[in-house]
Amino acid sequence: MQVLTAQCPYCQNKVDSTIEHLDGPVVCPQCAKPFEIEIPTAVVTSVQEVGRESVNADRMAAEPSERTLAKVHPVVFRARPLASLILGALFLASLVVLIASLAGASIAGYAFDGNAMLGPASLVTWVCGIVLLAIAGVVGFWMLVSRFTTLTVTDDRTIYQEGIISRATSEVQHNDVRNIQLDQSFTQRLLNIGGVGISSSGQDDLEVVARGLPHPERIIRLIRENQG
């Protein structure tokens, strides 16, 4: 049982009561006069200027921290299914031909003359090697762009950041969100990816446009649940 102690406004006597009796007036046992007990609230007792070094951190109240609910990057291969299939097939074909070319050159007795490999297999080897390096470069660029593109959803706002060298950031407060768009083709629905566009009440255009995100419906649901 929780007991509250209040002071009678008539006789200044201290009166004990329980929380269950706060719905209506209570009677002072000293002067027999009824009065209401108010639920206690925090009251600012003083304001003073102090140095940062003299502040007692254990006694200082803190603001509620912003919680990160989701942090996603655009997918790499599912966002480009056709290009990924073509590059994958080209990579496997080039790798097989490269291995066969090297093995064939060795069996046929091709050797280095100090400057270049002699024989017809040398051209195939160099071409396959260049193709493999080009594919690795393209995939590496895709992964780098995905790594430096981030959509962060907190309990207060949505933040979109992109850019490898230069950095661009857009954010929308959830309380100001007017419209959320889901851009998802049939193939993207099968792959469970899509684009999300967000606009606020003060703008006509979309302020946040993120494409190729995994589970876009989940992102939209998080934003809607935290609009306040």
Tens digit of each residue's pLDDT, the chain (228 residues): 556 777 888 888 887 776 666 666 778 888 887 877 776 665 555 555 556 565 555 555 455 678 899 999 999 999 999 999 999 999 999 999 888 877 765 544 444 444 444 455 678 888 899 999 999 999 999 999 999 999 999 999 999 999 988 889 999 999 989 899 999 999 999 999 999 999 987 777 888 999 999 999 999 999 999 887
220: tokens are 């939209």
CA gap 139, 115 in Å, rounded: 32
Of the candidates 134, 125, 154, the residue with the CA atom closest to the CA atom of residue 228: 154
pTM for the model stands at 0.66
Residues 102/125, Cβ–Cβ less than 8 Å: yes
> What's residue 94's pLDDT?
92
Residues 138/168, Cβ–Cβ less than 8 Å: no
> What's residue 12's pLDDT?
84
CA gap 61, 49 in Å, rounded: 16
> What's residue 159's pLDDT?
95
C-alpha distances in Å from residue 150, one per residue of 73, 141, 163, 171, 223: 5, 16, 10, 12, 16
